[in-house]
Structure 1
Amino acid sequence: MPFWKFQNIAASETEPEHAELRIEGDIIDNEDAWLYEWFGIQAVSPNAFKADLSQYDGKPITVWIDSYGGSVFAATGIYNALQEHKADVTVKIDGKAMSAATIIAMAGKDILMSPTAMMMIHNPLTEAYGYASDLRKTADVLDEVKDAIINAYQLKTGRSRAKLSEMMNGETYMSAKTAIKEGFATGMLYADSEAKPVEMAFNRHAILNSTSEAVKRMVAMQKPPDPQKPDNSKARALLALEMEL
Structure 2
Amino acid sequence: MKKFWKWKNRTVTDQENQTKTVERTLFLNGTIAEESWFDDDITPALFKEELMAGSGNITVWINSPGGDCVAAAQIYNMLMDYPHDVTVKIDGIAASAASVIAMAGTKVLISPVGMMMVHNPATVAWGDSAEMQKAIEMLSSVKDSIINAYEIKTGLSRARLSHLMDAETWMDAHKAVELGFADGILGRTELPEDMDPPAVTMLYSKAAVVNSLMDKIAAKCKTKPKTELEGRSVDSLYERLDLLRF
| CA positional deviation for 1:51 | 1.4
Task: Say whether the 8 Å CA contact 2:119–2:164 is kept in structure 1.
Answer: yes
Quote the residue 2:216 is aligned against: none
Identity %: 47
Comparing both chains, which one has the higher relative contact order based on Cα–Cα distances under 8 Å and sequence gaps of 6 or more? Answer: 1
Aligned-partner Cα distance in 2 for 1:85–1:174: 28
1:65 correspondence with 2:57: no
| CA positional deviation for 1:132 | 1.2
> So what's the TM-score if we normalise by structure 2?
0.68
Aligned-partner Cα distance in 2 for 1:142–1:4: 26
Structure 2 residue runs of 5 or longer lacking an equivalent are 15-20, 192-246
Give the structure with the larger strand fraction. 2
| CA positional deviation for 1:25 | 1.4
Q: Which amino acid aligns with 2:23?
A: H
Task: Say whether the 8 Å CA contact 1:119–1:174 is kept in structure 2.
Answer: yes
Quote the residue 2:222 is aligned against: none
Task: Say whether the 8 Å CA contact 1:46–1:75 is kept in structure 2.
Answer: no
Aligned-partner Cα distance in 2 for 1:86–1:75: 19
Aligned-partner Cα distance in 1 for 2:57–2:148: 25
1:21 correspondence with 2:26: yes
Computed over aligned residues only, the root mean square deviation of the Cα atoms, in angstroms, reads: 2.3
Q: Which amino acid aligns with 1:166?
A: H
Q: Which amino acid aligns with 1:49?
A: F
**1:200-239 paired onto structure 2 within 5 Å:** none
1:134 correspondence with 2:135: no
Quote the residue 2:208 is aligned against: none
Structure 1 residue runs of 5 or longer lacking an equivalent are 34-44, 194-245
Quote the residue 1:47 is aligned against: 45
Aligned-partner Cα distance in 2 for 1:167–1:139: 19
Quote the residue 2:78 is aligned against: 81
Quote the residue 2:229 is aligned against: none
CA gap 1:32/1:141 in 2 versus in 1, 3 angstroms = closer
User: How many residues are aligned here?
Assistant: 181
Task: Report the secondary structure of 2:12's partner residue.
Answer: coil
| CA positional deviation for 1:17 | 4.3
Quote the residue 1:99 is aligned against: 96
Task: Say whether the 8 Å CA contact 2:111–2:186 is kept in structure 1.
Answer: yes
Q: Which amino acid aligns with 1:78?
A: I
**1:6-17 paired onto structure 2 within 5 Å:** 6-11=7-12, 17=22
